[in-house]
Homo-oligomer: A and B are copies of this chain.
Amino acid sequence: MAVFSKEEYMERVRRTKEKMNEWGIDLLFISQPANMNYLSGYDGWSFYVHQCLLVSLEQEEPVWIGRGMDANAARLNSILSHDNILEYADDYVQSTVKHPMHYMADVIKKRGWDKGRIGVEMDQFYFTHRAYVELEKSLPDATFKDANTLVNWVRVIKSDAEIGFMKIAGEIAHNVMTAAQEVIAPGVRECDAASAIAAVQYRGTAQHSGDYPAIVPLMMAGEGTKTPHLTWTEKRYENEEAVLLELCGVYKHYHVPIARTMYLGQEPPALMRDTGKTVLEGLSAALDMIKPGVTAEEIEATWRRTIEKTGLVKESRIGYSIGVNYPPDWGEQTISVRPGDKTVVQKNMALHLIPGIWLDDVGFEVDASFYVTDTGIQHFFDYPLEICVKR
A binding-site residues for B, Cβ under 8 Å: 43-48, 68-73, 76-77, 89-91, 93-95, 99, 120, 122-133, 146, 148, 189-192, 194-204, 207-212, 215-216, 218, 223-224, 226-234, 315-317, 327-329, 331, 333, 336, 338-340, 358, 360
Contacts and interface: CB of A to CB of B under 8 A. Distances in A.
A336 B26 CA distance: 37
Nearest to A124: B128
The quantity of this chain's copies bound in the complex is 2
Contacts of A125: 48, 125-126, 128
Given A195-B210, A316-B69, A340 B91 contact: yes
B230 A73 contact: yes
Nearest to A1: B233
Given A90-B316, A90-B317, A228-B69, A329 B48 contact: yes
Contact of A44 (B197, B200, B229, B340): B229
Contacts of A124: 128
Nearest to A215: B45
Nearest to A218: B45
A179 to B, nearest CB: 11
A233 B209 contact: yes
B191 A198 contact: no
A384 to B, nearest CB: 25
A120 B129 contact: yes
Contacts of A336: 93-95
Contacts of A194: 202-203, 210
